Structure 1
Amino acid sequence: MTETSKLPQRVKIVEVGPRDGLQNEKETIPADVKVELVDRLTQAGFANIEAASFVSPKWVPQMATSAEVMARIARKPGVIYSALVPNMKGFEAAVEARSDEVVIFGAASEAFSQKNINCSIAESIERFRDVAQAAKQHGMRLRGSISCSFGCPYQGEVSPESVADVVQRMRDLGCDEIDIADTIGVGTPKHVQAVMQRVMKEFPMERLSGHFHDTYGQALANIYASMEVGIAIFHSSVAGLGGCPYAKGATGNVSTEDVLYMMQGLGIDTGIDLDAVVDAGQFISQHLGRKAVSRAGNAIAAKRQG
């Protein structure tokens, strides 16, 4: 183990709850609730919030209100409000909605790419070339997200080389930031460090991020392991919302409250108010009619009532 002093002094947390967290909910969530959630997260101090997805409502009905949500949120100067876009049509909608960043996506697993979007990894990244060029012309940030970076529900193991190959492709498209995502939550600390150290050879470490799911209870350990090798951007979801619709049995993203509680204990600055995030997590969980998945969030909320 590296000494704690070697860990980053400051970490950027990208809050993905409003998009990645809510996209698979069966019941339609009113735009009012989504707007309030984003506004609460803005007030809590996040510098980057994934707030929308401009995909076909036929595929992701929950995101049909994205344009309305983006029009109504109370934006704070300096905060990046991101939107996922699958193609030029989605990109144009994101521009109209005044998104600060567009997110494109690919998989590190050929099997996942074929099952998910019926094309090879190379073809899937190539499809984003127009979006990438348009983003640059509009002066927008471009983020690339790589799913199944540590394992795939169809092919099993995914090699660090496969992840590095997709990182190279996304780098060549001009991505400003690249997410290394554990879609099915199978990564463990040693494996995570090996992948992160491999992809750092292709892309600046300070612009790589870790996106970990907690399916096997490894997400916090994987975040810590990533910090040990220099990663300082992580994705998390308020109340532990979300999962992956294409990965059977995959539980949600790591909860933001749990990540913040750990960062606080390590003395790492995030610029985010944990209490305000706990409130946001309890708010959305009450609306969804179930308990938050966040252990730290639930413990802090229970202590307040005690």
Structure 2
Amino acid sequence: MHKLDGLPERVTVYEVGPRDGLQNEKAVIPVEVKAEFIDRLAAAGHTVIETTSFVHPKWVPQLADSGELLAMLQRRPGIRYPVLVPNLKGLDRALESGVEEIAVFASATETFANRNLNRGLESQFEMFEPVIAGALEHGLKVRAYVSMVFGDPWEGPTPIEQVVGVGARLLDLGCFELSLGDTIGVGTPGHATALVEAFGSPERLAVHFHDTYGQALANTMAALKAGVTVVDASTGGIGGCPFAGSATGNLATEDLVWMLNGLGIETGLNLDELVATSVWLAERLGRPSPSRVVQALSQKALSQKD
């Protein structure tokens, strides 16, 4: 462990595997496996686990069992279990399920807003405003995602001022946190620093990097140096975005924790339990985890047994 100046003492890992990870799987995972997955993540020390989404099953059939999952979930004290909510109907379903925290998913570009939300860059707010207002009225916390913050496969690089404009509006509507999503993984550290600094204050920002070009950890490091203390990650590096063809896996939770442990940054997470969970999940998905740390530590454990 070697600490570096200018980094936070503690980082909150916002686990997105059960939602953003499993939504991209071709096979539908049994609800009992999802519930055990979430409980294993809680046992490993996670304090926030995004569990599922109330998106219409037609668009994300992998998460069609969201209500059933939440009903069987064994919620542990002190752990947040947010869900993604796209519209008022989704909010109603979330309220019926006893959810205490939701997230909305916006776009920083016109084309992706049209493709993902069937709305324009401006008109997407007509959908979010009543959802956020309704959630706040019922005492729910609301997080906001902004996708395509570094680049869009149809429009190219995303102007920083455009991202800030969308993000600031979501924060002004009452969202407590804004997650900046590198949906197709094209960001680089200098760009990540510039984007965080453009918001003026990092206090309500989180980052969500995809590792398409191998830049997720480098970008995370840049964001931490710029003052961000919440990082989205997915156990085993599973997932991506089913509506953006060039988007590959999320930053793996284990790869992130390995780096943070080496820097002496507290997370409260047990790396061995996370790796064991990823190995367990990989067996049920029928393919190995793409996480480098999972591969290395699981192979090391096997060699020690031999």
Category of TM-score, reference length = shorter chain: over 0.9
Match of 1:140 in 2: 140
CA distance in 1 between counterparts of 2:114 and 2:55 reads: 19
Which residue identity does 1:284 align to in structure 2? Answer: L
- How far 1:249 sits from its partner (Å)? 2.4
Residues 202 and 226 in structure 2, CA contact (< 8 A), matched pair in contact too? no
* Aligned counterpart for 2:274 among listed residues 265, 273, 277: 277
TM-score scaled to structure 2, two decimals?
0.96
Structure 1 residue 115: Cα displacement: 2.5
The match for 2:162 is 162
Structure 1 partner of 2:46: 46
DSSP 3-state at the match of 1:211: strand
Matched letter for residue 98 of structure 2: R
Deviation (angstroms), 1:73: 1.6
Cα distance in 1 for residues equivalent to 2:55 and 2:115: 18
* Cα shift at 1:126: 2.3
Residue from 214, 217, 225 that aligns with 2:214: 217
Q: For residues 100 and 236 of structure 1, what CA distance do their matches in structure 2 show? A: 21
Deviations 1:146-185 (A, max 9, x none): 0000100110010110010011110121001100000000
1:107-161 CA distance string (max 9 Å, x none): 1111211232232122112211111111111111100000000100110010110
AA at the equivalent of 1:266: L
> Where in structure 2 are the equivalents of 1:145-224 lying within 5 Å?
145-199=145-199, 201=200, 204-224=201-221
> Which 5+ residue runs of structure 1 have no aligned equivalent?
none
1:15-54 alignment runs, 5 A limit? 15-54=15-54
> Deviations 1:176-216 (Å, cap 9, x if unpaired)?
110000000000000010011102x2xx5222100000000
User: 2:250 is matched with which residue?
Assistant: 253
- Shift of residue 245, structure 1, vs aligned partner: 1.2
SS of 2:78's partner is: coil
Query: Of 252, 262, 266, which aligns to 1:265?
Result: 262
The code of the aligned residue for 1:238 comes to: T
Instruction: Give the distance between the partners of 1:99 and 1:252, measured in 2 at CA.
Output: 27
Moved over 4 A (4+): none
258-267 or 94-103, which moves further after superposition? Answer: 94-103
CA distance in structure 2 between the partners assigned to 1:41 and 1:167 by the alignment: 29
In the alignment, the residues of structure 2 paired with residue 13 and residue 66 of structure 1 have an alpha-carbon distance, to the nearest angstrom, of: 22
Matches of 2:277 and 2:206, distance apart in 1: 24
* Shift, 1:284, TM fit: 0.9
Distance 1:32 1:113 in 2: 33
Q: What is the DSSP-based 3-state SS (H/G/I as helix, E as strand, rest coil) of the residue aligned with 2:171?
A: helix
Amino acid at match of 2:193: Q
Residue identity (%):
46
Q: 5+ unaligned residues in a row in structure 2: which ranges?
A: none
| Residue 77 (structure 1) shift | 1.1
Deviation of 1:250 (Å):
1.5
How far apart are 1:26 and its partner, in Å?
A: 1.4
The Cα of 1:105 is off from its aligned counterpart by 1.2
Aligned mates of 1:19, 1:85 — CA distance in 2? 11
Match of 2:97 in 1: 97
Range moving further from structure 2, 112-121 or 91-100: 112-121
Structure 2 residue aligned with 1:289: 286
Distance 2:294 2:75 in 1: 25
1-structure distance, mates of 2:54, 2:281: 22
Q: Distance in 2 between matches of 1:276 and 1:75?
A: 19
Please state how far the C-alpha of 1:226 moved relative to its aligned partner.
Answer: 0.3
8 Å CA contact 2:153, 2:246 repeated in 1: no
Partner of 2:226: 229
Range moving further from structure 2, 264-273 or 3-12? 3-12
Q: TM-score, normalised by structure 1?
A: 0.96
RMSD over aligned CA atoms reads 1.1
- DSSP-derived class of the 1:92 partner: helix
For 2:301, the equivalent position in structure 1 comes to 304
